[in-house]
Structure 1
Amino acid sequence: MISKYCRKSTASILAGILILAMPTAGSTQSLAGGKGDVRYPVTIPWGTTGGCGKMYAAYIAASGHSAFAATPIVPQSEYFICGAKLNAPSQKAAEDLALKSCQASKSKYKVTVAGACSIAASK
């Protein structure tokens, strides 16, 4: 008789533990505020003009899959170009579109000393 009640309570306790331990489909975390996968550090030089600083801040604040691409950012370089894609359907799509944005900006400004565009960070 005791084993009959123990089995029922043990089963219900285990079921409760499984329910609490299993992640649910609705428990997705927001990507806002995170840097994501950083491939190289992004340090916008102080006093830089242009929109790259604002674009990087928007990338950090974005809640969806996003990417930030830039040419090498070094203090000795006169120019650097950047591009970003915010809230894309996937991380891969964000990376592809951020690279295209960076390359389009490079073509627009006809800067040859900036180096090649690459993904600095994506999430």
Structure 2
Amino acid sequence: MISEYCGKSAAPMLAGLLMLVAPAAEAAGSLAGSKGHVRFPVYSAPGSTGGCGKHYREYIAAGGHSAYAMTPFNWATEFTICGISLNAPSQQAAEAKALNSCESGRKKWKVSTAGACSVAASK
């Protein structure tokens, strides 16, 4: 008698489970929300102004291959400069574009930084 009820209810339960699991498997291909490969911690000083914090949030939200580059943070220096590349064709292309963006920022704003630009995170 138990097998009669289990056999009849197993198919609808399995179908319901598949409907719940299928969208999760489809979303697994997106990189959105991921920090990716973090090479060094991204830190912004409290009260800092500028777009680096905004750019890092955009990097995290990006669904494709992206990279975030910045100068190292140091309490002794007043400035950090950053650059991003979002949704590039590959991770290597994103890293190269983010580094180029950061370096062009260093040339534009001639300020003292703790070092050269390097890729902080990429995915």
TM-score of the pair, normalised by structure 2: 0.75
Query: For residues 29 and 56 of structure 1, what CA distance do their matches in structure 2 show?
Result: 21
Q: Look up the SS of the partner of 1:30 in the other structure.
A: coil
Query: Do the aligned partners of 2:79 and 2:112 also contact (CA within 8 Å) in 1?
Result: no
Q: Look up the SS of the partner of 2:78 in the other structure.
A: coil
Query: For residues 77 and 48 of structure 1, what CA distance do their matches in structure 2 show?
Result: 12
Query: For residues 27 and 70 of structure 1, what CA distance do their matches in structure 2 show?
Result: 29
Query: Do the aligned partners of 1:81 and 1:114 also contact (CA within 8 Å) in 2?
Result: no
Residues 56-80 of structure 1: CA distance to partner in whole angstroms, max 9, x if unpaired?
0000000000000000012332111
Aligned residue number for residue 73 of structure 1: 73
Matching of residue 59 in structure 1 with residue 59 in structure 2: yes
Aligned residue number for residue 83 of structure 1: 83
Residues 32-57 of structure 1: CA distance to partner in whole angstroms, max 9, x if unpaired?
00100000011111111000000000
Which deviates more from structure 2 when the two are superposed, residues 76-85 or residues 106-115? 106-115
How many residues are aligned here? 98
Aligned residue number for residue 33 of structure 2: 33
Query: Do the aligned partners of 1:65 and 1:122 also contact (CA within 8 Å) in 2?
Result: yes
Query: For residues 52 and 92 of structure 1, what CA distance do their matches in structure 2 show?
Result: 21
Instruction: Give the superposed CA RMSD.
Output: 1.5
Identity within the alignment, % = 59
Query: For residues 53 and 113 of structure 1, what CA distance do their matches in structure 2 show?
Result: 17
For the pair shown, the structure with the greater C-alpha radius of gyration is: 1
TM-score of the pair, normalised by structure 1: 0.75
Point out where structure 2 has 5 or more consecutive residues left out of the alignment.
1-25
Which deviates more from structure 2 when the two are superposed, residues 91-100 or residues 73-82? 73-82
Matching of residue 104 in structure 1 with residue 107 in structure 2: no
- 1:115, CA displacement in angstroms? 1.3
